[in-house]
Amino acid sequence: MTVKFQNYLLENAIAFVSVFSMAYIMIWFGSFEIEVGSYMYLPLGAKILMYLVFGYRVFPGIIAACFAGGIFLMGSWGGNLYIGMLSACAGAVAPILAMCFMNLTHVSNFSKLSKIDFRHVLFLVVFTSVISALLKFFVYTQDVTLNINAVTFITHYIRGDVIGGLVVIYLVLGFVAPIIERFYTKKTAHF
């Protein structure tokens, strides 16, 4: 196995663990219902961070975590496996669509992590939440057995995505990144 392929596998494993662990933590704070989503959808923040750190190449790890989380943590999306898997795909693609659109309109270029403005990340979270809610609404309306109110569905999903995304990004940037930075500077100071 080449080093490049090993790095690819490691990055996807990190993305899988990050997104799946956020879904697991999210379950602690309440249940997930298809009609209203979650009040704090933490996996969105993990997806955005993984795409920011590793790029789009971690899509396989993210989509695998979405499928595993839906099947094992959310009971196969309440028995709606096919619709749930399509929804998981929509949730994994939404950050990519938002980042590409922001790049095309020259709002922000997320290719250099050191030059990312935090305000752009905040906008990315909100924009991704809107895209994700609309894509999931389109997916879930394909199932005629679900009783979905459009306004309630979209507003709840956007709210849950924004709150969850901001919580994860704030915790990572506010607490985890300084700890890693402090550890890294201590480690490199000895050499």
Residue 88: count of CB within 10 angstroms of its CB: 25
Give residue 81's pLDDT. Answer: 72
Domain range list for the chain: 3-189
Over the chain, what is the mean pLDDT?
83
This model's pTM is above 0.75: yes
Give residue 125's pLDDT. Answer: 93
Token pair for 156: 């709840």
Structural domain 3-189, CATH architecture? Orthogonal Bundle (1.10)
Percentage of the chain lying above the pLDDT 90 cut: 30
Cβ within 8 Å of residue 130, ≥6 positions away:
158
